[in-house]
Chains A and B, each alone.
Chain A
Amino acid sequence: MPDTRPSPDELLRRVEAEEQQAHRGRLKIFLGYASRVGKSFRMLDEGRRRKKRGQDVVVGYIQGKLEPDVSKVLATMEVIPGLKVRADGREEEVMDVIAILRRHPQVCLVDELARDNPPGSRNHQRWQDVKELLDNGITVVTAINLQYIAEQQDAIEKVTGKRARETVPEAFIRSADEIVIVDAPPEDLQQDEPSSTTDNRRLSELRELALLLAAEVVDQQLHQSLELRGVATFLGSQERILVCITPRSNAKRMLESGHRNAVRFHCDLLALHVRQNALSAGDQEVVEKYLALARELGAKVHTLEASESASAILEFARRHAITQLFVGHSLTSRWHDFLFGNPLDQLIEAAESMDVRIFPHPDLHSAQ
């Protein structure tokens, strides 16, 4: 078992982080993949239920056009009126942060997290307004459409051909204490006119992206909370592939296969090279070439110095919650050992908690 006891510094950091957390309001985000999936309703409904349970809830901002069911809930809530601001000859309504801070509710509902405030506002963007509320101990429940997350823009553009003008940094979304996916099949979205197959396809692709992002946030929170409590529980809720690279293994094939698998499972790909002895210049070059290929294929690359490769690989794999370990026949450079040399035997034996995939030796592969 890896040593998971935190160092004194680490403990101090945790205590400080917890103290800071204690004064901060909680951030809860409803994430949808399109408009009309019902994010605003879910957000307001949560506010309504919290109010019923005795929490002091206000609406800090709600978009103008509302579905009837949303209006019905809204009518029962206290709304802090927005500020009317004139910008570019148009009148715009922005969230009145000062009024909310003065009112200081327990919980504030904020619709449409991705909005730029007009020039001259207190903050440039609404998520910064929200951050200010959080810093002042107000819990915020908010809603956002995936299409307005900054780091997702490349992926979104590939699907829709468009990029959003107003965006929220993904780090802010990931900093949420809670994230909820608001899901509905494209066919179920309330639409004015029937949608085409192409529309539905695009929407399905966005939906997949939203689910995967939410899953990643959940995964990240899961690991943080386990780490914070010093629990080394291995849950395996997400696949993680590790490719072990040696100069004589068929690393190219292993990496390419690892990449294909990682794409399929939407999971992390890691590559590890354990250096045992000084490599010859030729071998070193080969390893470098493989590591470069690994980076190219999106793998996180690690190198370690260790006298014993099998145990070094295993320790690394356990620490990184690896579920699939890719190894070649050739873990040592000794030719006569490549078929079940001791390190591979040991590795298979000890790597009980993960799948071990053995790849053919390159010489054998080419000879097939």
Chain B
Amino acid sequence: MTSPTPTKRGRFKIFLGYAAGVGKTYQMLDEGQELRRKGLDVVIGYFEPHGRQDTIARTEGLETVPRREIVYRGTTFQEMDTDAILKRKPEVCLVDELAHTNVPGLERTKRWQDVQVLLDAGIAVLTSLNIQHLESLNDQIWQMTGVRVRETLPDWVVDQADEIVVVDVTPRALRHRLERGVIYSREKADKALENFFAEHNLSALREIAMRHAAHEIEEKLSVGDGSVPSAGQHDSSPAAQPSGRKECILICIDERPSAAVLIRRGRRVADYLRAECFAIYVSADPALSHLSQEQRESVEKHLGFARNLRIEVSVVQGNVVADGIVEFARTRHATQIFMGRSPSKGWKHRLRGSTLHRVVRLARDMEITIVAERRR
């Protein structure tokens, strides 16, 4: 008997930019054209023209799989038709705006999930992404720009990419494009120039995008062959404690909204340190029955959020939260505990007798990180 050979996963390539208008889509289409010239079967799965003539011109000659229409609350929306693409089965599919959220009612809520389906079916995907959509940067980007980016994707999706290409222009050139009305309509452009597209915001986003791409390259090199040092440094082993213990970060979740900040930051630091990452919620009743409905929902949201970022989460029974945290940290050989600040005002009351205070006292052999508050 012969079993069907498993489909080889499609190649995944991301064109990474730091803002709208840097030319990601243009470059993605350009590459699509190039691959088509080389004889590959290329289709456009989703393309957002934004009325940009230069970009639209690059689609010429490329087949587009028609979008699917979905009526939601009386309005018709168009989304990528993943099933139709699977049926068409091209070798390469171009998918604009990886971080897009689908309109409710589709099988999958996020476009990156649709892309996973295409990749699993052996279709190579070229896609575009702006750095601000990366989940772990969400708080930082909000602090910098005042914009809370709603459409995010977990960092691990980007880690999966076989190739990341940085699409770069200078902020000055980008602002010129904006002024000339290439990117948005006049009115929208004026507003953008003052806010998100302020030069220092663009520079900061650009720096982050470059660093992130460098980080991804370094990670790939470390996976490829541990014995050869990567360019920026000469330590491709996982970050270890002096004792040789692998770094392991434990994130302490509570019911406050700020726990999301903690989760993102813990994940990010763990990624950079190549550390393991766990999250824990300690409660007198693991069924969370003692919490108000609002608190319970909040905790469940945090736990789900952490899982989504591929953090192993545990709800642990414990009458004293700090003791539960430290005991768990010991069993799991955590080297660092990530905690938030205490909620009450006045530092004397906040620290003494607080969970944080107690954890610091109990976890004497561990490092404890009190994560920054993000404010504007």
Contacts and interface: CB of A to CB of B under 8 A. Distances in A.
Given A358-B370, A360-B365, A364-B364, A215 B214 contact: yes
Nearest to B271: A264
Contacts of A238: 207, 211
A132 interface: no
Interface residues of B, number: 69
A225 B242 CA distance: 40
A66 interface: no
B210 A214 contact: yes
Interface in A215-230: 215, 218-219, 221-222, 225-226
A164 to B, nearest CB: 16
Contact of A356 (B168, B224, B357, B370): B370
A365 B242 CA distance: 12
Contacts of A354: 372
Interface string A173-185: 0000011111111
A323 B372 contact: yes
B265 A180 contact: no
Interface residues of A, number: 69
Contacts of A188: 163, 165
A345 interface: yes
A237 B166 CA distance: 17
Contacts, number: 184
Nearest to B18: A218
A357 B185 CA distance: 46
Interface string B214-242: 10011011001100111111110001001
Contact of A211 (B170, B210, B347, B372): B210
B307 interface: no
Interface in B235-277: 235, 239, 242, 265, 272-274
A211 B172 CA distance: 19
A359 B241 CA distance: 12
A211 B239 contact: no
A306 B170 CA distance: 43
Contacts of A215: 207, 210-211, 214
Nearest to A346: B347
Interface stretch (A54-62, A116-124, A252-260, A280-288): A252-260
A351 B84 CA distance: 53
B273 A264 contact: yes
A233 B200 contact: yes
Interface string B92-111: 00000000000000000000
Contact of A225 (B163, B170, B199): B199
Given A208-B232, A264-B239, A361 B364 contact: yes
Contacts of A205: 221, 230-231
Given A346-B347, A349-B351, A266 B369 contact: no
A345 B351 contact: yes
A349 B373 contact: no
A214 B169 CA distance: 12
B268 to A, nearest CB: 10
B228 to A, nearest CB: 7
A182 B211 contact: no
B341 interface: yes
Contact of B170 (A28, A233, A235, A256): A28
Interface string A92-131: 0000000000000000000000000000000000000000
A260 B239 contact: yes
Given A183-B213, A218-B203, A352-B372, A340 B365 contact: no
Contacts of A348: 341, 347, 351, 356, 370
A181 B166 contact: yes
Contact of B367 (A28, A178, A257): A257
A355 B234 CA distance: 26
B361 interface: yes
- Chain B CB within 10 Å — which of A181, A261, A350 has the most? A181
A79 interface: no
- Chain B CB within 10 Å — which of A236, A237, A348 has the most? A237
A272 B17 CA distance: 37
A15 interface: no
A237 B144 contact: yes
B373 to A, nearest CB: 4
Given A204-B220, A357-B336, 12 more contacts: A178-B173, A211-B213, A218-B206, A225-B199, A235-B204, A238-B207, A261-B272, A264-B233, A264-B274, A266-B233, A365-B364, A367-B364
Closest 7 CB pairs of A and B: A205-B231, A349-B347, A368-B365, A237-B204, A215-B210, A211-B214, A183-B166
14 contacts: A159-B231, A206-B231, A208-B217, A214-B168, A218-B210, A226-B200, A236-B140, A260-B239, A339-B360, A348-B341, A353-B372, A355-B371, A358-B370, A367-B364
Interface of B: 13, 140, 143-144, 163-170, 172-173, 199-201, 203-208, 210-211, 213-214, 217-218, 220-221, 224-225, 228-235, 239, 242, 265, 272-274, 336, 341, 347-348, 350-352, 356-357, 360-361, 364-373, 375
